[in-house]
Amino acid sequence: MEKKNPCIVMVPSPGLSHLIPLVEFAKILTHDDDELHVKLMIPTLGPPSSSMNSILNKNSLPPNITFTLLPQVNVEDLTITDENPQPATQMQLTVKHSLPFLHQELTSLITSTNHNILAILFSLFSTDVLDLAKEFNLLSYVFFASGALFLSFCLHLPHLDDQQQQHEHEQEESLLFHHQLTEKTTVNVPGCPVPFQVHDFPQPALSQRSTQAYKSFLGVCIKYSLVDGVLVNTFTDLEADLIRAIEDQANNRENTNSPFVYPIGPIIQSATSNQVNRLECLRWLDNQPPRSVLYISFGSGGTLSQEQLNEIAFGLELSGHKFLWVVRDPSNFGGSAYLNQQKEDPLRYLPSGFVERTKEQGLVVPSWAPQVEILGHGSTGGFLSHCGWNSTLESIVHGVPMIVWPLFAEQRMNAVLLKDVLKVALMPEKVVDNDEDGIVKREEIARVIKRMMEENKEGLEMRKRIKELSDAAAAALTQNGSSHKALSTLTKKLKCSI
């Protein structure tokens, strides 16, 4: 009988921030094992973007990693009932509507003569795939592209929901925070030494319990406890207490001899594609003094209002410090570009004369820049970031302290971790105060930039701490490192299932 190749099926959630780490993890898995195959089955809500095409370029993938773009789901078929749907809800429903296509692909793969499927591995909001894993009697794993902090919160959320249901007089109110609670109310997350305020949690968890956003998010969180394990893109020295707390929460599982959480990070892109913008960015950085440039980017989908865009521009100009700014079209919703491609020229939304006035001070790049190379460049001294987990890890790996500016999803939780627990970041005060118009003014922006970029005790301490984390990140991936050991434990379990 012909020998079948071991194969792992991976199903990312829609969005580059979920696809990128999953592809990078697939490369790690297959690097030292020529027999192992990875098959990516990718739910889609629209045609692939140029960035997605670049990530999935067959010339950049090893031959034992293949992919299938599932048929596009029509956004009008998602039947979203909430007035202001959250990206998480859209992602979860996109995967749910893709299940028939996934079933067909799995059936074809299983009946082929050359594949032996070991497990299905899926992203944060692809948990409906768990039903297919059970149907086909396959091991199931979540690839958690965020950190242990958010995972601990997700695992704790069903418990909080049970508590809420005990108070019938609070029905139809928010899960955690009804009208009697104030912005000063704090909630603890297992394993985190600092409490969180009301507005730090993801919006779906704060929605009324009757909304689709809340129900979908709770359903996703419940399914996390039903899988065979969770692979978290973090490392032990970064979130040790949180990782221990997650294991404690999982102690009631039937198979207590098998780990529930596998901290396998940091998994980041080693390099981005070679584009014109990249060459311009790096040439410009080559001519700047060491650690003199503040890099500003809000990730693959973060957007700002027109008013806030103006305030950042004037704040950069007022600070007098060098900057490299990735600008995107403005929007009143902070994640409007996450699942939608933008086609306009964003530079036309900047204040009149800004680019000309600051041409000796900074460089403005439309829509995209090679973030990994920029953060790894010696001229980059700080990162103003939306606190997406990919960006957070990239900044830590390259030892670049941050100015945190969270927009949506779990980014406010990440910001608290970076600022108050790890102490490697600053946050503009107006964001913390959550003022009525939600705008961080130019004077505050300039003040925080100066605190970050100028030589002072505070800045030196942050740089020392993030250098220590950078060293720990590198050590975690070595032969005897914590993440390498966690990955070895996982691969041994997978091979035992053959």
For the purposes of burial, counting CB atoms within 10 Å of the CB of 319, is it exposed (0-12), middle (13-18) or buried (19 or more)?
A: buried
pLDDT at residue 433 tops 50: no
Calculate the alpha carbon distances from 208 to 170, 175, 218, 224 in Å.
10, 7, 12, 22
Structural class in CATH, domain 276-474: alpha beta
Where, residue-wise, is CATH 3.40.50.2000 in the chain?
A: 5-149+214-269+477-496, 276-474
Any idea which residue has 């960006």 for tokens?
391
- Report pLDDT digits (tens) over 344-356: 688 999 999 999 9
pLDDT at residue 98 tops 70: yes
Mean pLDDT of 368-393: 96
Q: In this structure, what token pair is assigned to residue 70?
A: 């599932």
**CA-derived radius of gyration, the chain:** 22
Enter the CATH code of domain 5-149+214-269+477-496: 3.40.50.2000
Mean pLDDT of 124-146: 95
Q: Which of 183-187, 225-229, 345-349, 473-477 has the highest mean pLDDT?
A: 473-477
Helix (H) or strand (E) holding 374: helix 371-375
CB 173 within 8 A of CB 208: yes
Lowest-confidence range among 385-389, 420-424, 437-441?
Answer: 437-441
What pLDDT does residue 207 have? Answer: 83
pTM of the model: 0.91
Mean pLDDT of 394-417: 96
Q: In this structure, what token pair is assigned to residue 497?
A: 């299932």
Helix (H) or strand (E) holding 115: strand 115-123
Any idea which residue has 């944060």 for tokens?
124
